């Protein structure tokens, strides 16, 4: 292959043969072709990917506001974010405002925090006044399979709806749970405490801010 190509190169002037850019003409050409392909892929798929990302949360939201089967008739969800100013830093909570036939039905706050291994991301549903939890869903977690990942199971998450948010939720062990307390999962107390901690922090930091004035709403693209 190399021997076949050499005579052709010999005929070219020396300045052209020694030029690095000329030597790399194949690389440059491939780069242009591949760049065009990637641009086409990007134009065709980027909207769809962004939509997927948003839908992941949106799909869950009705279930966090209403119990099964009681969903509203014409639900509208608007997403935005709450800016929480603390003494030395600013925090952001993505938040979804859920309305049903134009009437406020509730709020869903996305919150994240440290679990036993890795971070936990969850969606917290609240009633319009923001004082009662209406639902909880774990979006992402990397807890130990078989122990910590029980935080994603409905029978544990079902303890949250109906709890008030006036006082922070407590974690208790041993099955008997008074109101305001959550039963820890056997063998995964830290994971349970992490989830309750994230919920408590999200509730206390967004307290009083769940009103349309405090939220920067994202404009819908269409």
Partner 1 sequence: MANLPTPLERFVQGILPENPVYRQFLGLCPTLAVTNGLKPALTMALAVGFVLLCANVIISLIRSLLKPHLRIVIFTLTIATFVTIVDRVLAAYMYQMSKTLGPYIPLIIVNCIIICRCEVCASRQSVTAAAADAVGQSIGFGLALVSIAVVREILGTGMLAGYQVLPDAWPDWVIMVLPPGAFLTFGLLMALVNWIDAIRTEKNTGRG
Partner 2 sequence: MDYLFDIMLISITAALINNFVLYYFVGICPFIGVSRQVGMAVGMGSAVTFVMTVAVFLSWTITTLILVPGAPLSSWVAGFFMPAQKAATMDLTILTYIVYIFSIASSVQFVEMYVRRFYPSLYKTFGVFLPLITTNCAILFACLTVMSNIVGVESPEQAWDLGRALALGIFGGVGFTIAIVIMAGIREELDLCDVPRAFKGTAITLIVGGILAMAFMGFTGVDSGIRTAVMGTP
Instruction: Quickly count: other Cβ atoms within 10 Å of residue 89's Cβ.
Output: 7
Binding of partner 2 at residue 116 (CB under 8 A)? yes
- Closest approach, Cβ 87 to partner 1, in A, equals 35
Candidate residues 108, 190, 199, 202; the one interacting with partner 2 per rule CB under 8 A = 190
Helix (H) or strand (E) holding 110: strand 103-114
Dist CA 118 CA 69 (whole Å): 34
Any idea which residue has 């006044």 for tokens?
129
Choose from partner 1, partner 2, none: what does 92 bind? Cβ within 5-8 Å by kind. Answer: partner 2
Which pair of structure tokens corresponds to residue 57?
Answer: 């949360």
* Contacts (CB under 8 A) with partner 2, residues 144-183: 144
- The least distance separating partner 2 from the CB of residue 82, rounded to whole angstroms, comes to 11
Question: What is d(CA 33, CA 75) in angstroms, rounded to the nearest whole number?
Answer: 46
Choices 11-19, 66-74, 158-166, 191-199; region in contact with partner 2 by CB under 8 A: 191-199
CB-count exposure of residue 107 (10 Å: 0-12, 13-18, 19+)? buried
Give the shortest CB-94-to-partner 2 separation in angstroms: 6
**Nearest distance, CB of residue 198 and partner 2, angstroms:** 9
Q: What is the 3-state secondary structure (H, E, C) of 157-221?
A: HCCCCCCECCCCCEEECCCCCCCCEEECCCCCHHHHHHHHHHHHHHHHHHCCCCCHHHEEECCCC
Binds 54: which of partner 1, partner 2, none (CB < 5-8 Å by kind): none
Rounded CA-CA distance 110/122 in Å is: 6
Site of interaction with partner 1 (CB under 8 A):
1-2, 4-5, 23-24, 26-27, 30-31, 34, 37-38, 41-42, 45-46, 48-49, 52-53, 56, 144-147
Q: Please report whether residue 117 would count as binding partner 2 according to CB under 8 A.
A: yes
Residues that bind partner 2 (CB under 8 A): 38-39, 41-42, 46, 81, 88-90, 92, 94, 110, 114-118, 144, 190, 193-194, 197, 201
């Amino acid at each position: 292959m190399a021997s076949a190509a050499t005579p052709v190169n010999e005929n070219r002037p020396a300045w052209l043969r020694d030029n690095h850019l000329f030597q790399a003409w194949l690389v440059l050409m491939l780069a242009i072709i591949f760049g065009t392909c990637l641009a086409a892929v990007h134009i065709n798929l980027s909207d769809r990917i962004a939509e997927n990302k948003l839908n992941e949360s949106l799909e869950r939201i009705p279930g966090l506001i209403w119990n099964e089967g009681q969903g509203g008739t014409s639900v509208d969800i608007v997403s935005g974010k709450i800016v929480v100013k603390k003494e030395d830093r600013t925090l952001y909570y993505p938040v979804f405002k859920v309305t049903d036939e134009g009437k406020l039905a509730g709020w869903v706050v996305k919150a994240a925090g440290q679990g036993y291994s890795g971070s936990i991301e969850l969606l917290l549903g609240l009633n319009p006044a923001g004082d009662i939890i209406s639902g909880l869903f774990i979006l992402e977690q990397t807890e130990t399979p078989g122990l910590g990942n029980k935080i994603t199971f409905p029978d544990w998450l079902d303890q949250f709806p109906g709890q008030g948010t006036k006082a922070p939720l407590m974690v208790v062990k041993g099955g008997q749970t008074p109101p305001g307390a959550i039963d820890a999962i056997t063998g995964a107390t830290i994971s349970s405490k992490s989830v309750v901690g994230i919920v408590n922090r999200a509730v206390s930091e967004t307290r009083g801010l769940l009103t349309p004035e405090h939220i920067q709403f994202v404009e819908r693209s269409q």
